[in-house]
């Protein structure tokens, strides 16, 4: 069996690009391959989604390659952490040698973001939930936040702190959408428009163009490349629900299962982790993931973040690029979690670099707290 490693990572253009999805995809792939020192002709595996029903074949056709391995699994924001597991096995077994995991969206340029509810009208949730007019996925996360705030006295303050912390990291990242903006204040957060109670505009991720790509190959090929390889130490996933009515506890997600599997595979503990990149579609997503992954106990995530430890210079570096709240959120953010984790482990992050970062967690959440996938990476 061969040893898979990550050898390339890059974003495409971010923000408002006025480019097509395939243009952005190709840009991300080309930049990641250049980062690795590889060519498009070296690629024999593709994992991607959201271009079309045949996303991997569409991208392969656009790039002019005929891959031996493809994956177009759609699980929302956690898809890309899931792809790491699939690509790992494909490379380890020799099915293919160089896999590109990529995503891009032009949702802001195209003004295509829809909050109109479930679109597959044949599904049970369309029949039993859409009739009540929820904003999808916003209102579902709002229900989880409402439950958390009801149960945990300082829950609202903790959600605000997550947004404040993300902004502080974004102010150190020139690529962040909010770079150059002012720090967030509690007064500003509390005065932001209410979108779906109790979530205000400041609790919600950005809506931007963007995306990126990472390159996975085996350690033998990596020896001849220019980039510093990053080890894939562990991964795990969990799928819990599609509809909200089947969610047994709004404060418990599949992050516990995916995290336990990943940490067991990696053979490391929570206290060993230096950098944590968590999906932050909404502030509540981050808080529930912190607890689910075991960095804080159930109901203890609020106290965990309120002392400021997740901000720059704190003891628990969290979402160090500014996250989906202040850096970029192209509709599915999971690939950007992986890119930031790789860069931190390589020591490439400039003013936001976490000193001596050796181990990183990238954790994706998809759907309405439906899917969770955890990846643990290590520096070499």
What are the sequence ranges of the domains in the chain?
4-110+207-378
Q: Which of 335, 364, 342, 361 is nearest to 8 (CA)?
A: 342
Q: Which of 362, 330, 331, 329 is nearest to 345 (CA)?
A: 362
Assign 3-state DSSP to the chain and report helix, strand, coil percentages, each to 5. Answer: 40, 20, 40
179 tagged catalytic: no
The whole-number pLDDT of residue 244 equals: 81
The predicted model scores a pTM of 0.97
Q: State the pairing for strand pair 275-278/359-366.
A: parallel
Radius of gyration, CA atoms only, the chain = 19
CB atoms within 10 A of CB 191: 11
| Class of domain 4-110+207-378 as given by CATH | alpha beta
List average pLDDT for each run of 10 residues in the chain, which is 380 residues long: 97 96 96 98 95 90 97 95 98 98 94 63 83 88 97 96 98 98 94 96 96 98 95 98 86 97 98 98 98 97 97 98 98 97 98 98 96 98
Q: Quick check: 142 and 369 in contact, CB under 8 A?
A: no
**DSSP secondary structure string for all residues of 193-237:** PEEETTEEGGGB----BEEEEEEEEEHHHHTTSSSPPEEEEEEEE
The one catalytic residue among 83, 88, 148, 279: 279
The whole-number pLDDT of residue 110 equals: 87
The whole-number pLDDT of residue 53 equals: 83
Q: State the pairing for strand pair 45-47/4-11.
A: unpaired
The one catalytic residue among 83, 88, 327, 333: 327
Q: Quick check: 254 and 40 in contact, CB under 8 A?
A: no
141 tagged catalytic: no
Our CA angle for 332, 334, 339, nearest 5°, is 125
In 3-state terms, what secondary structure has residue 104? strand
The whole-number pLDDT of residue 114 equals: 58
Contacts of 32 (CB under 8 A, 6+ apart): 8, 9, 10, 100, 102, 212, 213, 214, 215
């Amino acid at each position: 069996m061969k040893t898979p490693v990550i050898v390339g990572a890059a974003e495409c253009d971010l923000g408002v690009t006025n480019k097509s999805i395939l243009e952005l995809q190709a840009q991300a792939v080309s930049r990641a391959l250049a980062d690795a020192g590889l060519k498009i002709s070296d690629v024999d595996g593709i994992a991607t989604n959201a271009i079309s029903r045949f996303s991997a074949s569409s991208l392969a056709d656009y790039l002019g390659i005929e891959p031996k391995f493809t994956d177009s699994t759609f699980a929302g924001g956690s898809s890309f952490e899931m792809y790491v597991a699939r690509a790992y096995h494909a490379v380890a077994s020799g099915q293919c040698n160089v896999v590109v995991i990529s995503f891009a969206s032009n949702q802001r340029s195209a003004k295509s973001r829809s909050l109109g509810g479930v679109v597959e009208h044949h599904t049970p949730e369309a029949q039993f939930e859409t009739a009540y007019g929820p904003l999808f996925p916003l209102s579902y996360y709002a229900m989880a936040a409402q439950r958390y705030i009801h149960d945990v006295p300082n829950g609202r303050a903790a959600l605000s702190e997550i947004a404040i912390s993300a902004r502080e990291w974004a102010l150190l990242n020139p690529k962040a959408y909010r770079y150059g903006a002012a720090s967030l204040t509690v007064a500003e957060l509390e005065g932001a428009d209410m979108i779906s109670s109790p979530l205000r505009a400041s609790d919600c991720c950005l809506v931007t163009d963007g995306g990126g790509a990472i390159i996975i190959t085996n350690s033998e090929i990596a020896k001849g490349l220019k980039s510093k390889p990053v080890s894939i130490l562990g991964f795990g996933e969990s799928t819990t629900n599609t509809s909200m009515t089947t969610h047994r506890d709004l404060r418990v997600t599949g992050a516990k299962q995916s995290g336990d599997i990943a940490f067991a595979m990696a053979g490391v503990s929570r206290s060993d982790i230096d950098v944590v990149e968590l999906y932050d579609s909404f502030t509540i997503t981050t808080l529930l993931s912190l607890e689910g992954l075991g960095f804080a106990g159930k109901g203890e995530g609020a106290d965990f973040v309120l002392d400021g430890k997740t901000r720059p210079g704190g003891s628990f570096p969290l979402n160090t690029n500014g996250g989906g709240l202040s850096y970029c959120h192209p509709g599915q953010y999971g690939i950007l979690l992986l890119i930031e984790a790789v860069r931190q482990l390589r020591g490439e992050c400039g003013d936001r670099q976490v000193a001596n970062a050796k181990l990183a967690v990238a954790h994706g959440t998809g759907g309405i707290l439906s899917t969770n996938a955890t990846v643990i990476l290590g520096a070499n």
